[in-house]
C-alpha cells in the first residue's frame, strides 16, 4: 500500500500511472481526497465566503475535480480489469463515494450560495457559458434533494447509495454469469460453417486450459460468429439459450439480476416521488431535450408506425428463404442470425466474414485517423504512456503542433472486461490561471484479438462501432471550452450526446473512406469496388427489423420507468409482462418465454440510460440530418470529406460541448431545426414518411 505522499492515484501532474497503481492504493487515496474535499466544502459553506464566481464557484469545482478523476480511474479499472482485488477495492469505497456526492447534492448551504450568485448583480455580467453552469447547478441541486425537508434527506441519500451499489452488482453478476459458461465441442463436424479464425480462437481457448476440442464462450467474439455462421442448430440453440438466461433464476441464485431490477425500480420510483414527480421517467427527462415521457413515447411510436411494415416484409422474406433454401420450416430465434447471413450471401453474393478479411485493425485505425485529420484539421499519432494491458494503445491529437488531447484505446475482449463498447472521460479540458489542462478519454471495445502472427481483423460492424466510439471521444477531446462543467461531453443533454457518435458511423459507408482503410489481411489488396457495391446494396438489409428492435428496447425502458407501479419492489414477472406488451406493439419476431433479456440490459440498470434509451433514436435524427450537410457539400465531388463543412461541424457542435443547448448548436451548424427525413432515408424508409 502506498503512503499518501507517493500514492500514484494522487499524482495529477500528467497521465495516470497505470503501471504503478494497485488495488491497495485505492483506499488511502480516495479517503485522503474525500477528507480534502470535505474540508474545502466546509469552508465554502461558511457565511463569510462570498457567493461570487472567483471566491465560490472556482474553489467549489476544484474541491471535487481531483476526487472525480481518481475515482474515475478506479471505476475504469473495475470495468476493464475486473479481478477480485479490483472489484473489492471498488466496492469497498463505493458507499463512501456515493454518500459523499449524495450529501453534496443535498447541501442547502452550498445550494444557497449558487442561488445568491444567480440573484446577484454579478450574474448578469457573467458570460453565457458561466450563466449556464450556474443554472445547471441549481437544477442539479434540486434534483439531488437540496430542497427536501431535513428529515427526508437521510432517506434520499440512502436511496442514492443503494442505487450505486445495485448498479455495480448488476454488472458484476452479468460478467460472472457470462464468464461461467463454456460450450466444449469435441466433434469437428459441429464446426461446419464457422470461419477459420473463429475455430482457431476456440482451439486456442481450449489449449489454454489443457483441454481437447474447441471452447466457445458468451464473449462477443466467440458468441456472435456461432449465431451467424454455425451450421449446427444444436450449437446455436445451446449458445442462444445460455446467452438469453444469463444472470437469471436459471443460473446461480447469487447472480440473479431479477431481484436487483425489482429493487432498482422501487428506489427510482421512491426518488421521483420525493422530488414531486409522478414517475422516474418524468424526473429523468428534466435535463434532456424531450419535454416529457409522452413526447418521447410519441416520437418512438411514430417511428414504429413507419418501420413496422418494413420489418414485417423483412421477416416474411427471411422465413420464405429459410424454408425454401435452408430447409428450416420453423424459424427459431437461434436460427435468425444464421438464416439472415445466408440470405445476405444469397442476395448480395458476399459474407460478413469475406468483408472482414479486408479490415486488419492497424489499417482501419490509419484510415480512421485520416478521416479525423481531413475533417477537423488535427493530427493523430501514437504516444507512449503507462497502460493497464499490453494491448492498449495511447494516441495523441495535435493541432498545428500543439497537444489538444490524448486517448487510451482498449479494443480487444478479455474475460476481466465487461461486454460492449463505450467511451469515457479520463480528464476534462480546463484552464487554471495560465495553465491549460488538455482532455483525455478512454475508448473501450470488445473486438476479437489477434490469433497467431496475423493482426486482428474487424467486421464492418466492428468498424462502425469503432467510428461511433471515436465520435464520442472527439466530442470530448476537440472541445474549446475551458470550464470543466460544460467542457467536452459534460453538460450536453443526454438525448443529444449520441449525435457526434452516430454522425461518425455514416463515413463507414463511403467508398473514399473504406477503400483507403482496407487491405486484405493475406494479400494486402484493397477492398474491391465490386464488393463495396454489394455491401452498399445490402446496407438496408433488414433495416426494418433492426429499427423495431431498437424501438422495442426504447419503449420498454420508458414505459418501465413511467407506467409500472413500483411502490414496492417489482417482481420480474411484471417486468417480463411489460416487455411482452411492448413486443406486441412493435416487434415482428417471437421471443421464447424463458428468455430473460432485461436481466442483461446493462444500459438501463447499470449504465446511466434509465428512462433514456430512446436517446439513441432521438439523436439519430440529429446525426443523420447533420451528415446530410456533408452529402450536400460533397455532391459531385466524389468525396464527403469536406474540410470546410468539417470545420463548421467542429466549431458549432464539437468545440462548444455543453456550453449551450444542443438544439442551438445544431441550428448553428445546419441553419434550421432537425428533420426526420434524413434518418428515414438513411434507413431506407423514406417512402413510408
Q: What residues act catalytically?
A: 469
**Cβ contact 136:485 at 8 Å:** yes
Instruction: Please tell me what DSSP assigns to residue 23.
Output: G
Using CB atoms within 10 Å of the CB of residue 254, give its burial: 0 to 12 exposed, 13 to 18 middle, 19+ buried: exposed
Distance CA 309, CA 328 (A): 24
- Cross-strand pairs, 406: 396, 440
- Cross-strand pairs, 431: 436
Q: Is 323 helix (H, G, I), strand (E, B) or coil?
A: helix
The H or E element that residue 382 is part of is strand 379-383
- Let me know the angle formed at the C-alpha of 548 by 489 and 198, rounded to the nearest 5 degrees: 80
Of residues 614, 605, 606, the one with CA closest to residue 582: 614
Cell numbers standing for residue 189:
463436424
Provide Rg for the chain, Cα atoms.
25
Using CB atoms within 10 Å of the CB of residue 120, give its burial: 0 to 12 exposed, 13 to 18 middle, 19+ buried: middle
**Beta 422-427 vs 440-447: how paired, if at all?**
antiparallel
User: Does the CA dihedral 94-100-104-106 come out positive or negative?
Assistant: positive
Runs of H (alpha helix) within 538-614 = 543-563, 572-586, 602-606
Distance CA 343, CA 335 (A): 12
The H or E element that residue 644 is part of is helix 643-649
Question: Which distant-in-sequence residues (6+ apart) come within 8 Å of 307 by Cβ?
Answer: 544, 547, 548, 551, 586, 683, 685, 688
The H or E element that residue 395 is part of is strand 393-399
- Residue whose entry in the numeric block shows the C-alpha cell 479520463: 426
- Let me know the angle formed at the C-alpha of 311 by 306 and 316, rounded to the nearest 5 degrees: 140
Using CB atoms within 10 Å of the CB of residue 516, give its burial: 0 to 12 exposed, 13 to 18 middle, 19+ buried: middle
Distance CA 24, CA 2 (A): 7
Cα-Cα-Cα-Cα torsion 146, 148, 150, 154, nearest 10 degrees, comes to: -80
The H or E element that residue 432 is part of is strand 430-432
Cα-Cα-Cα-Cα torsion 408, 412, 418, 423, nearest 10 degrees, comes to: 30
Q: What phi, psi does 600 have (nearest 5°)?
A: -120, 15
Q: How many CB atoms lie within 10 A of CB 6?
A: 10
Q: How far is CA 662 from CA 246, 292, 297, 427, in A?
A: 38, 17, 20, 22
Amino acid at each position: 500500500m502506498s503512503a499518501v505522499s507517493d500514492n500514484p492515484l494522487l499524482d495529477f501532474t500528467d497521465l495516470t500511472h497505470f503501471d504503478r497503481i494497485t488495488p491497495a492504493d485505492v483506499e488511502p487515496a480516495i479517503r485522503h481526497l474525500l477528507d480534502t474535499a470535505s474540508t474545502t466544502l466546509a469552508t465554502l459553506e461558511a457565511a463569510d465566503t462570498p457567493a461570487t464566481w472567483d471566491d465560490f464557484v472556482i474553489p467549489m469545482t476544484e474541491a471535487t475535480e481531483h476526487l472525480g478523476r481518481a475515482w474515475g480511474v478506479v471505476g475504469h479499472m473495475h470495468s476493464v480489469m475486473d479481478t477480485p482485488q479490483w472489484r473489492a477495492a471498488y466496492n469497498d469505497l463505493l458507499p463512501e463515494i456515493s454518500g459523499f456526492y449524495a450529501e453534496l447534492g443535498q447541501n442547502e448551504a452550498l445550494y444557497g450560495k449558487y442561488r445568491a450568485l444567480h440573484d446577484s448583480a454579478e450574474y448578469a455580467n457573467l458570460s453565457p457559458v458561466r450563466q449556464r453552469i450556474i443554472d445547471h447547478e441549481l437544477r442539479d441541486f434540486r434534483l439531488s434533494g437540496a430542497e427536501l425537508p431535513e428529515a427526508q434527506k437521510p432517506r434520499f441519500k440512502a436511496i442514492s447509495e443503494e442505487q450505486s451499489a445495485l448498479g455495480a452488482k448488476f454488472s458484476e453478476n452479468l460478467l460472472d454469469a457470462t464468464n461461467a459458461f463454456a460450450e466444449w465441442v469435441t466433434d469437428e463436424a459441429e464446426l461446419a460453417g464457422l470461419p477459420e479464425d473463429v475455430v482457431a480462437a476456440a482451439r486456442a481457448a481450449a489449449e489454454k486450459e489443457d483441454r481437447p476440442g474447441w471452447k466457445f464462450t458468451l464473449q462477443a467474439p466467440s458468441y456472435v460468429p456461432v449465431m451467424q455462421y454455425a451450421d449446427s442448430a444444436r450449437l446455436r440453440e445451446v449458445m442462444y439459450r445460455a446467452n438469453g438466461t444469463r444472470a437469471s433464476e436459471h443460473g446461480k441464485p447469487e447472480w440473479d439480476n431479477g431481484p436487483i431490477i425489482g429493487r432498482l425500480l422501487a428506489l427510482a420510483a421512491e426518488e421521483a416521488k420525493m422530488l414531486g414527480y409522478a414517475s422516474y421517467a418524468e424526473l429523468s427527462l428534466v435535463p434532456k431535450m424531450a419535454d416529457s415521457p409522452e413526447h418521447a413515447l410519441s416520437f418512438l411510436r411514430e417511428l414504429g408506425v413507419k418501420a413496422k411494415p418494413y420489418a414485417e416484409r423483412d421477416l416474411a422474406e427471411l422465413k420464405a428463404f429459410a424454408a425454401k433454401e435452408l430447409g428450416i420450416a420453423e424459424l427459431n430465434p437461434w436460427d435468425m442470425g444464421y438464416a439472415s447471413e445466408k440470405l445476405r450471401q444469397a442476395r448480395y453474393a458476399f459474407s460478413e466474414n469475406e468483408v472482414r478479411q479486408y479490415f486488419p485493425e492497424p489499417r482501419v485505425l490509419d484510415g480512421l485517423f485520416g478521416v479525423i485529420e481531413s475533417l477537423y484539421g488535427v493530427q493523430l499519432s501514437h504516444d507512449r504512456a503507462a497502460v493497464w494491458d499490453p494491448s492498449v494503445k495511447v494516441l495523441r491529437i495535435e493541432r498545428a503542433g500543439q497537444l489538444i488531447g490524448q486517448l487510451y484505446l482498449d479494443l480487444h475482449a478479455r474475460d476481466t472486461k465487461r461486454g460492449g463498447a463505450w467511451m469515457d472521460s479520463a480528464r476534462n479540458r480546463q484552464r487554471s490561471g495560465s495553465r491549460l489542462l488538455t482532455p483525455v478519454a478512454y475508448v473501450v471495445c470488445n473486438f476479437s484479438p489477434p490469433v497467431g502472427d496475423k493482426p486482428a481483423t474487424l467486421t464492418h460492424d466492428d468498424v462502425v462501432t469503432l467510428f461511433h466510439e471515436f465520435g464520442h471521444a472527439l466530442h470530448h477531446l476537440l472541445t474549446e471550452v475551458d470550464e470543466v462543467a460544460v467542457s467536452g461531453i459534460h453538460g450536453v443533454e443526454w438525448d443529444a450526446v449520441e449525435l457526434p457518435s452516430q454522425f461518425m458511423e455514416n463515413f463507414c459507408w463511403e467508398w473514399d473512406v473504406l477503400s483507403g482503410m482496407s487491405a486484405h489481411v493475406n494479400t494486402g489488396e484493397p477492398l474491391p469496388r465490386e464488393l463495396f457495391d454489394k455491401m452498399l446494396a445490402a446496407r438496408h438489409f433488414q433495416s426494418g427489423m433492426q429499427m423495431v428492435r431498437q424501438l422495442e428496447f426504447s419503449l420498454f425502458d420508458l414505459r418501465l420507468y413511467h407506467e409500472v407501479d413500483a411502490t414496492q419492489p417489482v417482481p420480474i414477472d411484471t417486468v417480463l409482462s411489460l416487455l411482452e406488451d411492448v413486443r406486441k406493439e412493435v416487434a415482428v419476431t417471437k421471443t421464447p418465454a424463458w428468455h430473460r433479456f432485461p436481466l442483461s440490459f446493462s444500459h438501463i440498470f447499470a449504465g446511466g440510460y434509465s428512462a433514456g434509451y430512446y436517446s439513441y433514436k432521438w439523436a439519430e435524427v440529429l446525426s443523420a440530418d447533420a451528415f446530410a450537410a456533408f452529402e450536400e457539400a460533397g455532391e459531385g465531388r466524389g468525396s464527403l470529406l469536406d474540410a470546410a463543412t468539417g470545420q463548421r461541424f467542429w466549431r458549432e457542435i464539437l468545440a462548444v460541448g455543453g456550453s449551450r443547448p444542443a438544439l442551438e448548436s445544431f441550428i448553428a451548424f445546419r441553419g434550421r431545426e432537425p428533420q426526420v427525413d434524413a434518418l428515414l432515408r438513411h434507413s431506407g424508409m423514406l417512402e413510408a414518411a
